[in-house]
Amino acid sequence: MGKHVLVIEDEPNIIEAISFILSRDGWTVDTHSNGHDAVSVVRAKSPDLVILDVMLPGKSGYDILTELRQDAATQNLPVLMLTARGQSKDRELAEKIGASRFMTKPFSNAEVLEALHELVPQ
pLDDT tens over the chain, length 122 residues: 579 999 999 999 999 999 999 999 999 999 999 999 999 999 999 999 999 999 999 999 999 999 999 999 999 999 999 988 767 888 899 999 999 999 998 899 999 999 999 999 86
Q: Which residues, 6+ apart, have CB-to-CB distance to 99 below 8 Å?
A: 52, 65, 79, 80, 81
- Smallest CA-to-CA distance from 93 within 59, 73, 66 is with 66
* CA–CA distance, 28 with 26 (Å, rounded to integer): 7
Q: Which residues, 6+ apart, have CB-to-CB distance to 77 below 8 Å?
A: 42, 47, 49, 50, 68
Topology adopted by domain 4-106: Rossmann fold (3.40.50)
| Contact present, 52 and 34 (Cβ < 8 Å) | no
Amino acid at 1: M
